Amino acid sequence: MKNIPDVKLGIIAVSRDCFPIALSNQRREAIIKACGGDLYECPITVENEADMLDAVQDVTLEECNALVVFLGNFGPETPETLIAEKFDGPVMFVAAAEGDGDLINGRGDAYCGMLNCSYNLAMRHLKGYIPAYPVGTAEDIADMIAEFVPIARAIIGLQHLKIITFGPRPQDFFACNAPIKGLYEIGVEIEENSELDLLVAYKEHENDERIPAVCEDMAQELGVKGNQYPALLPRMAQFELTLLDWAEDHKGARDYVVFADKCWPAFPQQFGFEPCYVNSRLASRGIPVACEVDIYGALSEYIGACVSGDAVTLLDINNTVPASLYEKEIKGKSDYALTDTFMAFHCGNTPSCKMCADRAIKYQLIQHRLLEPAGSEPDFTRGTLEGDIAADAITFYRLQCDSEGKLRSYIAQGEVLDVPTGSFGGIGVFAIPEMGRFYRHVLIEKHYPHHGAVAFGHFGKALYEVFRYLGVKDIAYNQPKTLPYKTENPFA
């Protein structure tokens, strides 16, 4: 199941009729060359509204799902902005810098035209992605296009996404309780089901002929040391097939699916295992399964998967790093203060490809204490994928709908340190510059829940632009010491 869109980009050049159309054409061709041809070149240069309709029809027939509108000169304000209205997909607007001809017949004034383009987009309440500095040479614009691709991939994915939940959302677990109004505002569909629906579907997959092949794949992924409960694999394989079939059967008019599932306390008792390892496997394929029916966690994970093109995870911003561990393993080896560090944890949903080599199927210690007899061997609480998360650059982020129904977000870049945790679950020692201040003046001050999505790599720039495109007004980040938060006491 392919769950992340491919981006097919097209470029449409525009030209104001009092400027040479050849200037836009030549400059468009230079961009095609700079991009190595990996860009559909619309042959229609737009000067008027009729051209605009023809150009949009052309790129649509070519199955483009994202567009670059290129102001090769000043550009026609109405037709160029109407492209964003008529085209079904994200649109980037860029403009040509001077320098490839004389400044009499070869001057395009696109620097000026971009201002009116932006003005017209706002007047018509149209969305368009405009880079940080949208005016450049062919090579500059080729770089802008490369940066636009992951942004476009996320926007396209969200336009065709359905979140499937199996609940209900837990009481007293407010990471999972948020208005779904924000989903509809950005065009995401949701289907909410009960745990009983999932149990019925799971039982219908008993003795599915595909189970042995999935078990073999699981065993190969885990290796001998990681496959600590071989007899458990058929149950988990049955569950994996249940979710995959449900996604295929229930995506309806949508192309892409993520899940937000109830995973305790009833789940392990009724299904006979913990779902964490299966969740990790789906996440590695671009189908995030958020724990504890965390709808906005699932949404956030999917955005990160589209932007990064890689596996993501969802973790608790969980516990402090003991001072003794900091002194032994971190102090003097990096510039991080103790308050810059924390441990991020979840029961076992992080994909194996993002964990250290000693990761293995284990049991959920907390649930074992709660649900199984004291001193007994773990039974239905088995099924977590546990071990330390591998050292890597990370981006910690979340898109959330607050109690007023408004979307807000945060983004913070940092890293997983190469430090043994000595703890249980899927867990790592994380370091984010100025995390202590960010924790107080963003996460606490703005009432975020404890779940955060994690992308492996630094993707803050692209995520920021995705959130802006979605219309999110409040995009918080870990501000440096030189930039106090509004709520930060200046006398402290």
* Structural domain includes residue 249: yes
Mean pLDDT of 53-71: 98
Domain boundary among 115, 135, 155: 155
* Structural domain includes residue 253: yes
Q: What pLDDT digit, counting tens, does each position of 338-371 carry?
A: 999 999 999 999 999 999 999 999 999 999 999 9
Mean pLDDT of 221-243: 97
Mean pLDDT of 379-403: 97
Co-location of 316 and 409 in the same domain: yes
Mean pLDDT of 409-437: 98
Which residues span the domain enclosing 117? Answer: 9-155
Residue 38 belongs to a domain with what CATH number? 3.40.50.10940
- Paired sense of beta strands 426-431 and 9-14, if any: unpaired
- Paired sense of beta strands 189-194 and 256-261, if any: unpaired
Cβ neighbors of 99 (< 8 A, separation 6 or more) are 137
- Is pLDDT above 80 for 170? no
Mean pLDDT of the chain: 97
Co-location of 301 and 419 in the same domain: yes
* Structural domain includes residue 483: no
- Paired sense of beta strands 451-456 and 312-319, if any: antiparallel
Co-location of 377 and 361 in the same domain: yes
- pLDDT at residue 168, rounded to an integer: 86
Query: What pLDDT band is residue 227 in, cutting at 50, 70 and 90?
Result: very high
- pLDDT at residue 456, rounded to an integer: 98
Co-location of 52 and 122 in the same domain: yes
Co-location of 298 and 207 in the same domain: yes
Query: What pLDDT band is residue 78 in, cutting at 50, 70 and 90?
Result: very high
- Is pLDDT above 90 for 69? yes
Q: What pLDDT digit, counting tens, does each position of 295-317 carry?
A: 999 999 999 999 999 999 999 99
* Structural domain includes residue 490: no
DSSP string, 249-284: HH-TT-SEEEEEE--SSHHHHHHSS-SHHHHHHHHT
Contact present, 138 and 33 (Cβ < 8 Å): yes
Co-location of 139 and 165 in the same domain: no
Co-location of 370 and 391 in the same domain: yes
Co-location of 126 and 228 in the same domain: no
Q: Name 342's bridge partners.
A: 430
* Structural domain includes residue 388: yes
Query: What pLDDT band is residue 171 in, cutting at 50, 70 and 90?
Result: confident
Co-location of 38 and 181 in the same domain: no
User: What percent of the chain lies above the pLDDT cut of 90?
Assistant: 95
Co-location of 132 and 197 in the same domain: no
Co-location of 131 and 174 in the same domain: no
Domain boundary among 100, 135, 155: 155
- pLDDT at residue 325, rounded to an integer: 98
Domain count, the chain: 2
* Structural domain includes residue 484: no
Task: Locate 418 and state its tokens.
Answer: 């190469």
Question: Cα separation of 248 and 164, whole Å?
Answer: 11
What residue has token string 């930060």? 488
Angle at which helices 295-308 and 138-159 cross, to 10°:
150
Mean pLDDT of 44-61: 98
Co-location of 97 and 228 in the same domain: no
DSSP string, 78-132: HHHHHHHHHSSS-EEEEEEPS-SS-SSTT---HHHHHHHHHHHHHHTT---B--S
* Structural domain includes residue 381: yes
Domain boundary among 107, 128, 155: 155
* Structural domain includes residue 409: yes
Least Cα distance to 25 among 135, 118, 122, 138 occurs for: 138
Query: What sign does the dihedral 469-475-477-479 (CA atoms) show?
Result: positive
Query: Poorest-confidence range of 89-103, 159-173, 317-331?
Result: 159-173
- Is pLDDT above 80 for 173? no
* Degrees to nearest 5, angle at CA 148 with 144 and 150: 140
Query: What sign does the dihedral 212-346-200-272 (CA atoms) show?
Result: positive
Question: Cα separation of 10 and 58, whole Å?
Answer: 10
Q: What pLDDT digit, counting tens, does each position of 113-127 carry?
A: 999 999 999 999 999
User: What percent of the chain lies above the pLDDT cut of 70?
Assistant: 100
- pLDDT at residue 175, rounded to an integer: 66
